[in-house]
Amino acid sequence: MNSSARCLNASEAARRLGVSIKALRLYEQQGLLTPGRSAAGYRVYGPDDLLRAAEVVALRALGLSLAQVARVLDGDAHGLGTALAAHETALDNQIHELVRKLDKVRSVRSDLARGQMPPDGELTRLLDETAMSVAFELPWPWGGEWFELRDIRPLNYIIGSLGSGKTRLARRLAETLLGAAFLGLDRLQNAGAAAVELLNADPELRSRVNHALAWLIDEGATESEALIALLVGLETDGPEILVVDMIEEGLEQPAQEALITHLRHRAKSGGRPLFLLTRSSAILDLASVGPDEAIILCPANHSPPTRVAPYPGAPGYEAVATCLASPEVRARVARSPETA
């Protein structure tokens, strides 16, 4: 057998496929993959296993839930067609955006040909339109220190210990960022009745929420009032940026894991930027943070918030890891009654 056809171990297979070992294990648990075993009992991935795994990875990249992937692999043409239609729409939007930028470049070149230089800042905006940033004086407990956040990502996690000021930072971000809104924990107050009222008043919102809920249930989540209330906030039209307070509140571990997978797919398809307050390692899995994500740490000593790279040894990494409770702990918190 040549080197290209040799069996790979789990680490090698994950590297070749561009996913984590954890993802491969999840696909195996769901019956999507059945890798072989070495004489010592370790998982091995042959050419057929890698081909199957690549199909799974591609379908996940199209935004399919685990259950939808299974159905497509079993021959569900309708599910695949729906996913491809959504992907086509996203590509079409990207083309229109590129055409708009191309028109701007041509306009600047036309001005240059007539001897007219671009206005101050125009060239910077032209070359870096996608990079969002914000700057403001920090609220108490920081006492007015200056804070700048450059290159806002599609997914931004805000984390810190109790009393670190992370909620105040989140609220100030929502107040300062153009077109932003804050989705607080008041979403959980009378969640069922409030969600029903909003959904009954807006059929399009109800359709989007039902679609997202079905995807999450396919992914292993259980329907709950807390989950529906959160989806209502996430799917409501209007805000260009959403800041969500303690996104895992009221959700058990499977729902949290399904939710962050869903939000990652949304981010890749051009969804609005999100700031997520969290202390859950099911939401913020440090081993799974990708290039479209950023971590903002509010230190316990009230030094200014800082961006933290998701790598062991990076400044602030250990503080972030310490703040993250295990999924089991977060599940217990989600089930426990509120205390004064």
| Residue 75, SS3 per DSSP | coil
Confidence (pLDDT) at 5: 63
- Convert the pLDDT of each residue in 190-213 to its tens digit: 887 888 888 999 999 999 999 999
- Convert the pLDDT of each residue in 50-75 to its tens digit: 999 999 999 988 888 889 999 999 99
180-183/132-137 β-pairing: unpaired
Query: Looking at domain 130-335, which CATH architecture does it have?
Result: 3-Layer(aba) Sandwich (3.40)
Torsion of CA 221, 222, 228, 230, to 10 degrees: -40
Confidence (pLDDT) at 339: 39
Tell me if the domain spanning 3-73 has CATH number 1.10.1660.10: yes
Question: How far, in Å, are 116, 149, 199, 250 from residue 155 at the CA level?
Answer: 39, 13, 26, 21
First-to-last CA distance in the chain?
66
Confidence (pLDDT) at 1: 42
Amino acid in the structure at residue 101: K
Confidence (pLDDT) at 281: 93
Question: How far, in Å, are 243, 279, 318 from residue 282 at the CA level?
Answer: 19, 9, 17
Within the chain, which residues score under 70 in pLDDT? 1-5, 121, 124-131, 325-340
Contacts of 180 (CB under 8 A, 6+ apart): 173, 174, 239, 240, 241, 242, 243
- Convert the pLDDT of each residue in 136-172 to its tens digit: 999 888 877 889 998 899 999 999 998 999 999 999 9
Structure tokens at 330: 């977060």
Confidence (pLDDT) at 184: 95
Convert 141-207 into a string of H (helix), E (strand) and C (coil): CCCCCEEEEEEECCEEEEEECCCCCHHHHHHHHHHHCCCEEEECHHHHCCHHHHHHHHHHHCHHHHH
